[in-house]
Amino acid sequence: MIKKTMMATVSILGMALGAAAVAGPVTDADLLNDAKTPTSVLTNGIGLQGHRFSPLKEINTSNVKNLVPAWSLSFGGEKQRGQEAQALVHDGVVYVTASYSRIFAADARTGDKIWEYDARLPEGIMPCCDVINRGAAIYGDKVFFGTLDAQIVALDAKTGKVVWHKAVDDFKAGYSISSAPIVVPTKANGALLITGLAGGEFGVVGRVEAYNVDNGELVWSRPVLEGLAGSYRGKESSVTGKVNETWAGDEFKTGGGATWLGGTYDPELKLLYFGTGNPAPWNSWTRPGDNRWTASRIAINPENGELVWGFQTTPHDGWDYDGVNEFIPFDLVKDGKTVKAGGTADRNGFFYVLDRTNGKFISAMPFVSKITWAKGIDATGRPIYNDEFRPGDPAKSEDGKKGKEVFAVPSFLGGKNQMPVAYSDQTKLFYVPSNEWGMDIHNEPVVFKKGAAFLGAGFNIKPIFDDHIGSLKAIDPVAQKVIWEYKNKAPLWGGVLATAGGLVFTGTPEGYLKAFDAKNGKELWKFNVGTGIVAPPIAWEQDGEEMIGIAAGWGGAVPLWGGEVAKSFKGIDQGGSYWVFKLAPRSAAK
C-alpha cells in the first residue's frame, strides 16, 4: 500500500439550519431494509440488490404532469464535467458526489449546502472516462467514497471532516476509483466497506476488496484473474481459478479485468455480485485463451472474499466488451416455478439471465440491433463468434502495424455501459438504457509499460440508425422480449428509476429528465435542466411528499471517446448541479 497525506477543503455552511436533520447512525437493518424504506436512500441502487425501484406512488401516471422543481444545488466553480453520481438521503440530508472527487451534503428540504469535501487530487491522475464519481456509501455516522487517485475516504456525516482515508493502490500505475462502494453486514467481520478498482486500459489487474468501516483496515482482497492469490486478514488466501488454465504465460499479470462499476448483494444467499472489465490489452491476438475472469460476472462470499462462481459473457474479448454491468438479483417465475435468478444487460449487446445461486446460464437475448461480433448465444451461454468481425492480427498484416479493420456492433462503449438499469417489482420488467451504435476497429502492436495506455487498437464509433442512437427498452426476462422502446436522438448515458406510481424516469444528453408510463413507454413529462444528464435518478419521501432527485452535468465517456457520435453532439453545455422535483401545490397544478 502507498501512503499519502490527503489534503482537502471542507466548508461548513448552514450548520445552524434548523430545517436540516443531520443524519443519525445507519445500522445493518437500515441497509437491509433500504428498498422498503421510502424516507431514505442508503445504498447505491436503492437497496443492496440494486433494483432501483421506489415503493412511492404519490407521483403517478395521472399527476406526473404536475411535477415542478423544488430546489437545485450548484456544484460550483469551474469543476463541471460529467456528473454520474446517484445521491443518498438520510434524516433530511442529501449526500451526492461530484466531478473531481468531491462530495456535498445538502438540506433535503431546501437544497442549502451543509458541507462540501474536496479531495485535492494530485497531478498525474489517469482516469479512463472523465473525472466522474458515481456515488457514496453511508454507515454508522460516516459517509464513504472513492477518489480518482485510488483513495477511500471516510467522512463524518455531520461535519464532512475526515475520519480516515486509505490509499488502495498507486494512481501512477493507472489505478483509480470511480464507482460507489457498497457496505455489507457480515458475521465474522461486522459491516464491511467493499469496493472495486478502475484502470483496465492501463493493464491494471481488477480486484474486489473489503475494508473495516471503523478504521479502513483491509480485511480481504480478491483479484479476479486466474492465477492470482487473494488475502484474508493479512495472510494469503486461495488462488483465483487455476494458473494458466485460460491464460498463456504471464499475460494474466497485466491482464485487466477492472472492477470499475461496483456491486450488488443478495441478503438471502449472502452473496456479493461484481462484474469485471475487459482483458488487457484490447488486441486479443496477444493473449490466447478465454482470459478468465475478465468480461464476467462473479459471486463472492463477503465474509472472507472467496470466489463462489463465475460466468464469462465474452470469453477472449476482442472488442472491449467489459462485463462490469450490474447483476440484479430477482425471482424468475416461469411455468409455475420460481428460480433465484439474476439479470444483467451486457456491454456486448445481450441480456442474460443466470441462476444466482451458482452462475448457471438460463437464457440470453440481444437487446440492441444488428449485432455483428456474435451470431448468437449457445445453450451453455457461450457466444457463437462471427470470426469475420474480430479485428485482424497486425502480425499478419503487410506492414505488421495494423491488422484488418472490421465494423463491429455494438461499439466498445457497449449496448449498455455505466448507466444502471431498473427492475420494477410492480411490472416485473427490466428497464435498460441502451445505445445503437457500431465501430470501425483494428488491432495494433502493443507492449506493456506501467502507467501507459495498454490498448493495441484503433477505433471510431458510428451510429447505425439515422434517427436515433439512444434506446430505453422495457425487457421481459421471462418471455425474453422487448415490451416497449423509447428512441432518443443522442446516446443515453443516464440511469433509470422505476416507481410504484407506474413510472420510469431517466435523463438525456439533451438535458431532459423524462417520465414514462412503465407499462407502455408513453412519455408523460419532461423538464430541461440546462445540461446533459448522465446520472441515475432517485425518489424519497420528505415530510410526506415524494421527491425525485437527479444530478445534472454533461460529460463521461461519450464526448471523450465517441468519435463521429461525439462530433454530432459537441454543442451540449456542461454543468454541475443537483435537481429535486416534487408535485406542485394542488392550487397551482389546476
Give per-residue pLDDT as tens, 370-381: 999 999 999 999
Give per-residue pLDDT as tens, 469-486: 999 999 999 999 999 999
Give per-residue pLDDT as tens, 395-436: 999 888 999 999 999 999 999 999 999 999 999 999 999 999
Lowest mean pLDDT among 6-15, 56-65, 509-518, 562-571: 6-15
Answer positive or negative: Cα dihedral of 27, 33, 37, 41: positive
Give per-residue pLDDT as tens, 258-297: 999 999 999 999 999 999 999 999 999 999 999 999 999 9
> Is residue 14 over pLDDT 80?
no
Query: What's the mean per-residue pLDDT of the chain?
Result: 93
Give per-residue pLDDT as tens, 551-573: 999 999 888 888 888 877 777 88
Give per-residue pLDDT as tens, 494-553: 999 999 999 999 999 999 999 999 999 999 999 999 999 999 999 999 999 999 999 999
Q: 3-state secondary structure string, 77-96?
A: CCCCCCCCCECEEECCEEEE
Active site residues: 320
Answer yes or no: are the C-beta atoms of 571 and 509 closer than 8 Å: no
DSSP string, 174-190: T-B--SPPEEEEETTTE
Cβ burial of 270 (10 Å; 0-12, 13-18, 19+) is: middle
Cβ-based neighbours of 1, under 8 Å, separated by 6 or more = 166, 167, 168, 169, 218
Backbone torsions φ then ψ of 307, nearest 5 degrees? -75, 130
Residue length of the chain: 590
* β-strand pairing of 67-74 with 577-583: antiparallel
**Can you list the domains of the chain with their CATH numbers?**
8-589 (2.140.10.10)
- Percent of the chain exceeding pLDDT 70 equals 95
Other C-beta atoms lying within 10 Å of the C-beta of residue 488? 20
The Cβ-side half-sphere exposure at 183, using a 13 Å CA radius, reads 29
Residue 494: C-alpha distances to residues 369, 508, 537 (Å): 20, 7, 8
The Cβ-side half-sphere exposure at 77, using a 13 Å CA radius, reads 9
Which residue type occupies 220? W
* β-strand pairing of 53-54 with 496-499: parallel
* CA gap 214, 95 in Å, rounded: 20
Contacts 24+ apart (CB under 8 A), 524-527: 524/61, 524/64, 524/65, 525/64, 525/65, 525/67, 527/67, 527/69, 527/581
Other C-beta atoms lying within 10 Å of the C-beta of residue 123? 5
Please give the model's pTM, rounded to 2 decimal places. Answer: 0.95
* CA gap 279, 256 in Å, rounded: 5
